[in-house]
């Protein structure tokens, strides 16, 4: 096993060049899946590495629950500097466990809170809130999260009703009817799990075609399951800080993926670019925490510029002779090396412990 057990902790560095190049040269859908997969595998391998170091490092600590034979010289020689590395790995693994648990728990709480804030509103794929604050977001579906809440949900409903009584009037109802007519475009992905939430304040800032483009963009987030990719890279970044650039890159590529889907559904790239620009300028955040808080909308000028260019090809795998091709293969080699190092360390440690421990 030797020093190779430490490789999964540093091999995520091989994926850093592709994080930036994938944004520029790969289709957003391909880039999102590639970067999320790399982040997941590298994070899993580095966490497994920490676990192996903890096993060896704690074998010599007084009062440990492991068999005495696990502290034999054969076991200690399996990992160099086992005492220092093992004790440091205990702290690091605890930090990883706490960070990942907190991130996953926050993700679940935000979804439940957002669904409760919409409790009592008419069902369907689109929820239009009478609110002067401009915002729009995609909320993934969850049956357990739609239960009414006496606090947040009731407050949100009372605020919406008071604003409606204060003067939403015929104009707001007309805007809502326009949005519901645009659902024919929104349903392009055929995905019924989740809702698109938009405020009347946002509708005021857009014309009819821009509203359809905005709704198609948000629906694309639901159709593509982008919240899963964002959660995966968030957990990976908590497991290994070297993977944080991949998290930022996926936050951008998911937005670009939704942009391209909206352009495909509406057939108007310029309108989608205009809608994104306007929405970014007038957005003031949402009244309740939503999954939009997990990722920034990305550099809007870059997204708009990309929409003003021809659509990227769906399959555009770069050649090895290009910088992005070399970065892809470097990241793939680093991921494979990390997986092989973890597997080798696991098997070696298992064989050593099996030989040192009477069965």
What ranges make up the beta strands (E) of the chain? 126-129, 136-139, 195-199
Is pLDDT at 284 greater than 60 in this prediction? yes
Average of per-residue pLDDT across 229-244: 94
In this structure, what DSSP letter does residue 206 have? S
The DSSP symbol for 123 reads P
- Per-domain residue ranges for the chain? 2-356
Spatial strand order in the sheet of 136-139 = 126-129, 195-199, 136-139
Residue in 241, 335, 327, 348 with CA at minimum distance from that of residue 45: 335
Q: Which residues of 123-146 are buried (b: 16+ CB within 10 A; e: fewer)?
A: eebbbbbbbeebbbbbbbeeeebe
Alpha-carbon distance of 183 to 195, in angstroms, equals 11
Q: What is the pLDDT of residue 189?
A: 41
- Assess contact for 261 and 220: CB atoms under 8 A: yes
Q: Is the dihedral of CA 271, 274, 278, 279 positive or negative?
A: positive
The rounded mean pLDDT for the chain is: 77
Would the pLDDT of 211 be above 80?
Answer: yes
- Does residue 114 surpass a pLDDT of 70? yes
The pTM (predicted TM-score) of the whole model is 0.78
Contacts of 335 (CB under 8 A, 6+ apart): 11, 14, 15, 38, 41, 42
Q: For residue range 55-110, what is the model confidence (pLDDT) as tens digits?
A: 776 666 655 555 555 556 655 565 555 667 777 888 899 999 999 999 999 888 88
> Is pLDDT above 70 for 287?
no
């Amino acid at each position: 096993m030797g020093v190779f057990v430490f490789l999964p902790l540093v091999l995520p560095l091989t994926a850093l060049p592709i994080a930036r190049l994938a944004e520029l040269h790969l289709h957003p859908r391909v880039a999102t899946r590639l970067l999320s997969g790399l982040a997941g595998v590298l994070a899993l391998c580095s966490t497994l590495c920490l676990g192996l170091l903890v096993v060896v490092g704690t074998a010599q600590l007084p009062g440990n629950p492991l068999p005495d034979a696990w502290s034999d010289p054969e076991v200690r020689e399996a990992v160099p500097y086992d005492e220092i590395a093992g004790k440091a790995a205990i702290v690091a693994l605890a930090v990883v466990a706490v960070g990942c648990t907190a991130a996953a728990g926050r993700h679940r709480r935000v979804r439940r809170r957002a669904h409760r804030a919409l409790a009592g509103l008419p069902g369907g794929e689109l929820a239009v809130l009478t609110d002067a604050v401009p915002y729009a977001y995609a909320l993934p579906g969850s049956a357990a999260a739609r239960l009414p809440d006496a606090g947040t949900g009731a407050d949100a409903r009372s605020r919406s009703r008071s604003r409606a009584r204060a003067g939403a009037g015929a104009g707001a109802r007309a805007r809502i009817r326009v949005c519901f007519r645009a659902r024919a475009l929104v349903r392009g992905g055929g995905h019924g799990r989740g809702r698109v939430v938009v405020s009347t304040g946002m509708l005021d800032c857009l014309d009819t075609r821009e509203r359809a483009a905005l709704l198609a963009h948000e629906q694309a987030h639901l159709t593509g399951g982008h919240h899963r990719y964002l959660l995966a890279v968030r957990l990976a970044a908590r497991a290994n800080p070297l993977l944080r650039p991949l998290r930022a890159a996926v936050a951008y590529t998911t937005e670009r993926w939704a942009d391209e889907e909206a352009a495909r559904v509406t057939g108007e790239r310029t309108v989608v670019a205009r809608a994104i620009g306007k929405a970014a300028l007038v957005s003031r955040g949402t009244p309740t925490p939503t999954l939009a808080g997990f990722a920034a909308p990305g550099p809007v000028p870059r997204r708009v510029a990309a929409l003003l260019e021809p659509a990227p090809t769906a399959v555009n795998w770069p050649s090895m002779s290009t910088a992005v091709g070399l970065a892809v293969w470097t990241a793939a080699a680093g991921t494979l090396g990390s997986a092989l190092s973890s597997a080798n360390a696991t098997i070696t440690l298992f064989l050593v412990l099996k030989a040192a421990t009477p069965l």
